[in-house]
Amino acid sequence: MIQIAQVLLFDRDDRLVIYLRDDNADIPFPNHWDFFGGHLEPGETPEQALLREVKEELGIELRQWQFFRSYECLEGDVYPNRKYIYQARIDKTIDELTLHEGQRLASIKPDQCCHYNFANILAAILHDFITAGAWPRAVDNSGGKFTDK
């Protein structure tokens, strides 16, 4: 079975960074939104593939990541595969990133996910992620003090 490593990549504002696949009839799911990542090459672990693919697609090196879940995809994709889904955070926004594959980037909040047409089973994976409470929460580092009233 083909193996794929993908990452739910969050920017410094805790928005999910996604990209729009090329509008090319020769690729699976043209003009659909996608997560970063791709196929494992022979001898690669999912983590090695993840790091290689993010470097190829965005030109950045992930320093930390966390495994979320694996999914056996037997339908809804062009071929059966196992997806290894990770999550990671980068200290950048999409304005500071350069996309090397695909049409354009977007950064979205959880309530915006339903407005995007995701490739294969990614919408279901994203729903699982949100339902699991795994979406990062903003942290207030302003140093303000709280008082009880």
What are the pLDDT digits (tens) for 12-48? 999 999 999 999 988 889 899 999 999 999 999 999 9
Q: Which tops the pLDDT comparison, 56 or 137?
A: 56
pLDDT for 148 beyond 80: no
* Structural domain of 39: 2-131
Domain for residue 26, yes or no? yes
Domain for residue 114, yes or no? yes
CATH of residue 13: 3.90.79.10
Domain for residue 71, yes or no? yes
Contacts of 94 (CB under 8 A, 6+ apart): 11, 17, 105, 106, 107
pLDDT for 111 beyond 60: yes
How many of the other CB atoms lie within 10 Å of CB of 33? 24
Does residue 59 come out as left (phi exceeding 0), alpha (psi in the -120 to 50 range) or beta? left
Does residue 58 come out as left (phi exceeding 0), alpha (psi in the -120 to 50 range) or beta? alpha
User: Does the predicted model carry a pTM greater than 0.85?
Assistant: yes
Give pLDDT, residue 120: 86
Q: Domain count for the chain, please give it.
A: 1
Average predicted confidence (pLDDT) for the chain: 91
Domain for residue 119, yes or no? yes
DSSP string, 66-130: EEEEEEEESSSSSS-EEEEEEEEE-S--GGG---SSSSEEEEE-GGGGGGS-BSTTHHHHHHHHH
Domain for residue 144, yes or no? no
What are the pLDDT digits (tens) for 56-105? 999 999 999 999 999 998 887 888 999 999 999 999 999 999 999 999 99
Give pLDDT, residue 139: 58
